[in-house]
Structures are given as C-alpha cells and as structure tokens.
Amino acid sequence: MLAVKAVAIKVFNLQQRSKSFMAECEALRNIRHRNLVGILTTCSSMDFHRNDFKALVYEFMPNESVERWQHKDGNLSLLQKLDIAIEAHAINYLQCECDSPIMHCDLKPSNILLDDDMVARVADFGLAKVLDPPMHPNQSSSIDVRGTVGYAAPGIYHK
C-alpha cells in the first residue's frame, strides 16, 4: 500500500531573498508547536544550470490563509475568529518560551494558515529574527527592523 501526503513547497528566489532561506531555517530548526506550520525537510542543491537551489517542504494547509477567508463569501464565524485569536499563543511561545526568543516580524492574515480542522498555524518565517537569550530581565538590545508596514512585531520596539 502506498501512502500519499500532500505537502507545500516554498522555493526561494535567491537573487531577491537569499537571506530569507537562512532566516527561516534558523528560526524553525529547533521549535515545535501545534500552532506553527511544521517544516518537513529542506533542500539545498544546484539546478540543471548549476545555480543554487533552495526550498523548504512544509505540511500542507488545505484551508489556505486567514486573509483568503476574509475575502470569501462564507467568511469566518465569530467562534472561528475567536479560536484563531486564542491560537495566536504560538507567538507567546516564540517570544517567551524558546531558549532564544524569536520575533516573527511579519505576522499578518496571509501568514496565518488553516489546517484541515481550521486550526490556525503561523507560517512564513523569512523575516524572523532569532534574538540572543536575555542575560537578565532588564537587558535590552536593538535589531534591524523589517516586515510589512503595520504588521511588524511590536516587541521589537520595546527591547
């Protein structure tokens, strides 16, 4: 018997987003959470023209993004919206429970994907920043801020 599993493959345009592949790999290599899109494997090779080729293979999210649901006729019910907001505790996990805090830097409706059961999963860590673990609670740091205007991580401005 052959088992078939749908996957999502993110191929990187290395001329425009060379740092994005490394940022995403660094951010996701040691973390697991039920509300983060799971990475299955990476691919780093050369294509038939001998150009660098890099891709990430993720779990497939059949119900697309929250952004797509905002623009559909069926839209999301109030209960589904509340569930998605509650499932955002994955961001707290990234910032407070990981050994090295991770700032997503581009959390927006198109980067929140929905699985078979409409469970929200945070995706697209291409702009993520892995911060040094704080030495003590009052430590502060500064980092280069990037992201979609209006969706940059507020925590960046408080550090």
Among candidate residues 106, 115, 117, 124, the one labeled active-site is 106
- CA gap 99, 76 in Å, rounded: 35
Known catalytic membership, residue 116: no
* Token code pair at residue 146: 């990037």
Q: Which residues are catalytic?
A: 106
